[in-house]
Chains A and B, each alone.
Chain A
Amino acid sequence: MFKKFSHGPIERNVLILGVLTLITVSLGGLAQIVPLFTIESTIERVAGIRPYTPLELMGRDIYVREGCYACHSQMIRPFRDEAERYGHYSLAAESIYDRPFQWGSKRTGPDLARVGGRYSDDWQAAHLRSPRDLVPDSIMPPYSFLDRPLDAARVPASLRAQQRLGVPYSDEHVAQAMADLRTQADPDADPTAFNRRYPRARQGVFDGNPRQLTEMDALVAYLQMLGTLVQFRDVTPEQLRQQ
């Protein structure tokens, strides 16, 4: 087989080598570029998805900063065992406002795509501070240092950056970012305007300490909304099909 074929002549002729290299590289490039032309038709639109609140966005930044994705995925695959343990498989739409997405590729700890509301705020904060107090065989490192004040001053700039990347924050969202952040962390604040901008976002004293806004507040607020935006009781499989 191929006894007659020799790559010698190709390697000795710069012109033929160049043309064949170009063809090979183009094939690889096309495989990545062509699908982008059909991207509009492959995006799922699902009711309930909203951009992150300012507090959740800060929490997400901390999640990325601490490298949580190295041990926790946020991607429930469409297999029976995963459906039984974690719930409905993840939809592309659920990470549509993630820049970058946090699907992850390794599960040293459990998947977190639907961890929101699974445990109480108290549990989340206590578990982050000292994981082995609650899960004796856990190998997760303690994150008690997150009880330090949140650097909230950069919230408007963060929202602005997300806006430039295509997340549908309006200028009103950016202007009210600081107020929304404080409203979410204070259960006694009036949520009307906040909930108009971020439907069904929950207020709370996420770290158990109402006197100070901490990184723990932000991270727990983020964890507690993961996977809670889509109401799967109202969404049928037909509606999820890509158009």
Chain B
Amino acid sequence: MALKIEKDAVSGTDTTGHEWDGLRELNTPLPLWWLYTWYACIAFAAVWVVLYPALPISGATGLLGYTARGALPAQLAAENAAREPMRARIRAATPEAIAADPTLRAFAVAGGRIAFANNCAACHGAGGQGATGGYPSLADDDWLWGGELADIHTTITHGIRNQDSEEARLSAMPVFGSGILTTAQIRDVTEHVLSLTQRATDPAAATRGAAVFTENCASCHGENGAGNPQFGAPNLSDQIWLHGRERAQIMAYITAPRMGVMPAFSGRLDPAMINMLTVYVHTLGGGR
């Protein structure tokens, strides 16, 4: 097909030379700014290939020898150098000393908040409010394993009933439904437990349950059900119920307890970070 390139009268631009049933097409050139930007991109890519590892061939590391892995240690070291002076002071101090020093305390609470969000909030909630299903609140003054700074520090360091730490806090409530108590006895002792919060409806059963309680429960939960942080035994005479406050829930728990597990953070977090977390958790509302 012969090409007949003409100049279009209206726009002053060449046509492509093709003609379809009398229709012709303009051959408008690319805008120059676009064209030169494109050339610049090609030049940039050529420089990049020389300087950085761009070719998928071993040994083609680029003139700068950059790798993200190689750059990471320097970034971590720079960050560490900036934080280390304060961190070293916090690592050397006891949680009590940190809480007493306003500068250290402010640093610990700020750092502890970040670490809490990353490590603790999944179970204990963003503000330490806990969650249903056995995840205790850290924002009240009811503590399973003790609410003093030293207690909190031990719990975070070694965790509870885990396989990570030899010194993990350990205790086990017996599975009373597996033959230790009869269903009738469990019903009685549930009635007694309800009576500790003035919710019993069957005084006779509660009286029978009191004897069962003394024999089976009092050694950990105390004669009055006030609990004992040494065994992580919760207070049964307050309004805080980890696994539900209703009669059926209490009975189900006595029949087959589900005891909580917390990981040990000694291997995961720097001792300074554990100190900061301790002080932060202590400030959440209920530290003793």
Contact = CB atoms under 8 A, between A and B. Distances in A.
Contacts of A89: 69, 72
A101 B132 CA distance: 35
Given A34-B56, A85-B118, A134 B79 contact: no
B241 interface: no
A18 interface: no
A231 to B, nearest CB: 11
B263 A118 contact: yes
Contacts of A83: 72, 76
A35 interface: yes
Contacts of A242: 58
A-side binding surface: helix, strand, loop or mixed?
Answer: helix
Interface string B257-268: 010111100000
A37 to B, nearest CB: 9
A120 B263 contact: yes
B133 interface: yes
A120 B261 contact: yes
Interface string B125-163: 110000111110000000000000000000000000011
Interface in B252-288: 258, 260-263
A31 B263 contact: no
A202 B119 CA distance: 22
Interface residues of B, number: 32
Given A35-B56, A134-B135, A135-B122, A78 B260 contact: no
B68 interface: yes
A21 interface: no
B134 A134 contact: no
A119 B122 contact: yes
Nearest to B59: A38
A208 interface: yes
Given A117-B263, A122-B258, A133-B132, A31 B56 contact: yes
A119 to B, nearest CB: 6
B258 A208 contact: yes
Nearest to A80: B75
Nearest to A241: B69
A134 B123 CA distance: 6
A89 B73 CA distance: 11
B248 interface: no
Contacts of B47: none
A79 interface: yes
A126 interface: yes
A38 B58 contact: yes
Contacts of A133: 131-133
A122 B72 contact: no
B57 interface: yes
A136 B58 CA distance: 48
B68 A35 contact: no
Nearest to A119: B122
Interface in B167-201: none
Interface string A102-135: 0000000000000001111111001100000111
Contacts of B262: 120
A237 interface: yes
Interface string B11-38: 0000000000000000000000001000
Contacts of A126: 133
B69 A122 contact: no
Contacts of A85: 118
Contacts of B126: 136
A136 B135 CA distance: 14
A121 B72 CA distance: 33
A136 B73 CA distance: 36
A117 B163 CA distance: 10
A135 B125 CA distance: 7
Contacts of A144: none
A122 B261 contact: yes
Given A123-B123, A134-B131, A237-B73, A78 B68 contact: yes
24 contacts: A34-B56, A77-B68, A78-B68, A79-B68, A79-B75, A80-B72, A80-B79, A85-B118, A89-B72, A117-B263, A118-B122, A119-B263, A122-B133, A122-B134, A122-B260, A122-B261, A123-B135, A133-B131, A133-B132, A133-B133, A134-B123, A134-B135, A136-B126, A202-B163
Given A41-B58, A122-B258, 17 more contacts: A1-B35, A8-B3, A31-B56, A34-B56, A35-B56, A42-B58, A78-B69, A117-B164, A120-B261, A120-B262, A121-B261, A122-B134, A122-B260, A123-B122, A133-B133, A208-B258, A237-B73
